[in-house]
Structure 1
Amino acid sequence: MHLKSIYVYPVKSLSGFSVKSWPVNEKGLLHDRRWMIVDTENRFITQRQFPKMSLISTSLSKEGLHLSAASMPPITVPFESDPTATFNVEIWNDSCSAKPASETANNWLSTFLETDCRLVYQPEDAVRVVDPDYGKPKDKIYFSDGFPFLIISEASLTALNQEMNETFSMTRFRPNLVVTDCEPYAEDTWRTIRIGAIDFRLPKPCSRCSITTIDPSTGQQGKEPLATLNRTRKWNKQVFFGQNALHDKTGELHIDDALIVLTQGPKQPPLI
């Protein structure tokens, strides 16, 4: 088993990009969901409310964050902004500190999404901890929903596509790490694994929402894969695909890094 793909999503709920290697800091993949779009109440917004967010492309360079979309001029957002302006933003039931990213980006995003919003970022010295029910006190994250990594096996997507008679791409499921050369849903039993030189804990399967029904290439919404997941991967009134993960050290991940399963447990979710 080995690592086939690495995906970085600089802005929560915008499109990401694949890389051959990437640094891992204490919060996960460097800059992964370090930025986030919030509404006028400083509450996060996602593709759930605005499917068009899937059509905004992102990239990173030494100059900062780059945003582009059809009919819009590309813009660059610096990594840091006003060091004095800090305020709280909300993600689900969590409140954490953020800084304003760029007034230019605010106008750009508000125009494209046709709603009043602004871009914020998490300063590197900010501390947002993982839910203590699943993480250790040292576990930190940027603006992801709850965990720094989402791991899915290539075989699991192949199996799901066969169930649906579809050819969905992995990008629809927004994983960080895609692994290969294992059985479908093998990741359901993994509890600790090692990829390259970094150890991971897999404490919780990933419950899936309506974002998976949005075609990332068109922004159009359908019924799959939730219709099939409701039939094949439902437990406790939720559907699951992929595993959330936490890391135990920093370093760097590379395509083709070997994956070693260190410990296993009962399937999560506990499907027959």
Structure 2
Amino acid sequence: MALLRPRIDFDKGELVVSYHGKRHDNQPHQISIPLSADPSVLDSTLDRQRSRVCGEEVSAQLYTSESINSFFSSVLGVPCVLARFPPGGLGLKGRLSKAQIQRYQQPSRVRTVPGAFPDVPSPPDSDSEQKKPAKILLSNESPILMIHSSSVDELNREITSRGGSPVEERSFRANIVLEHATGAKAYTAFAEDDWGSVYIGRQNFKLLGACRRCQMVCIDQETGEKREEPFVTLAKTRRFDGKVYFGVHMRHDTFAQDDCTTKETQYPTIQVGDSVSVNP
């Protein structure tokens, strides 16, 4: 599936998915899917397909278009039916992010109030913040995944020192990649473990916790082949409590309804080159 490359054509209102692997004769290179709930390709009956995503039951709308479903079935080699997760989950409860601050990320700030017990770390967030998980649709863990280029560089130094080949940032399948601009303050590798939130352009993002990694990071995003790295090195350098972490989950902090009076608040947007500020 790494050889399937999606992009959104806003002008045409379409999701365009292209396949970059070997194709059979007369096999299409790409397929275009309407972003709207087009009844000509979407099953609009009351019947819905129940499935499971990361152990949770979901009810999804199915696409009935033969051209759409045959495209995915032919390139993946197994029978496929494309589905979408509508707002509200069609009667089932909405899915919530499972991302959370890991123990190794929690600061050990000792209380200084007279009479307080020493060596008792304060919690990383208030109770209200911890009890307010972000809503997600078909994402695995959280709405947004961010990685830090300095951390990728440090990981690649470890990999090459062991005789391996460096990996690309896209191996981690992040939504957002942060890197320092020329002349700006350069954050050290894995500094993102301790960040509380980041401003990108005019948008604020709350960090939800580290991203747990598996062998999927070893899939070459260009060829679809599986390699040993970077998981082997991650397992030696980024293992905490028996689990491997790299990158952080985030959610976008939306504006209050009465604050949505400008274009930036009504249509929140970030773009390549936006300035970034970090809050602890």
Q: TM-score normalised to the size of structure 1?
A: 0.71
Structure showing the higher helix proportion among its residues: 2
For the 8 Å contact 2:205–2:250, the answer to whether it is kept is yes
Residue number among 68, 75, 96 corresponding to 1:105 in the alignment: 68
Q: How does 1:15-164 map to 2 (within 5 A)?
A: 53-61=1-9, 62-69=12-19, 70=21, 71=23, 72-73=27-28, 74-79=30-35, 80=37, 81-84=42-45, 85-101=47-63, 102-126=65-89, 128-131=94-97, 134=100, 137=132, 139-164=134-159
CA distance in 1, matches of 2:148, 2:133: 27
Alignment CA distance shift 1:208-1:68 (3 Å): same
CA distance in 1, matches of 2:34, 2:51: 20
SS at structure 2 position matched to 1:159: helix
Is structure 2 residue 128 aligned with structure 1 residue 167? no
Aligned length: 211
Structure showing the higher strand proportion among its residues: 1
Give the superposition deviation at 1:167.
2.8
CA distance in 2, matches of 1:125, 1:244: 22
CA distance in 1, matches of 2:135, 2:6: 23
Aligned to 2:216: 211
SS at structure 2 position matched to 1:118: coil
CA distance in 1, matches of 2:132, 2:188: 33
**Which residue type is aligned with residue 221 of structure 1?**
K
For the 8 Å contact 1:205–1:240, the answer to whether it is kept is yes
Give the superposition deviation at 1:198.
1.8
**Which residue type is aligned with residue 55 of structure 2?**
N
Alignment CA distance shift 1:184-1:68 (3 Å): same
Q: Deviations over 1:139-161 (max 9, x none)?
A: 32221102011111111111111
Alignment CA distance shift 1:136-1:246 (3 Å): farther
Q: How does 1:171-186 map to 2 (within 5 A)?
A: 171-181=170-180, 182-186=187-191
Structure label with greater radius of gyration: 2
Greater mean alpha carbon deviation, residues 234-243 or residues 103-112: 103-112
SS at structure 2 position matched to 1:54: coil
For the 8 Å contact 1:202–1:243, the answer to whether it is kept is yes
Higher normalized contact order (CA 8 Å, seq sep 6+, divided by chain length):
1
SS at structure 2 position matched to 1:260: strand
Give the superposition deviation at 1:110.
1.5
In the alignment, structure 2 segments of 5+ residues that lack a partner are 101-129, 181-186, 256-267
**Which residue type is aligned with residue 154 of structure 1?**
S
Aligned to 1:50: none
SS at structure 1 position matched to 2:193: helix
Alignment CA distance shift 1:237-1:248 (3 Å): same
For the 8 Å contact 1:56–1:67, the answer to whether it is kept is yes
**Which residue type is aligned with residue 172 of structure 1?**
S
SS at structure 2 position matched to 1:224: coil
Is structure 2 residue 229 aligned with structure 1 residue 224? yes
In the alignment, structure 1 segments of 5+ residues that lack a partner are 1-52, 264-272
Alignment CA distance shift 1:224-1:249 (3 Å): same
Q: TM-score normalised to the size of structure 2?
A: 0.69
Aligned to 2:117: none
CA distance in 2, matches of 1:163, 1:176: 24
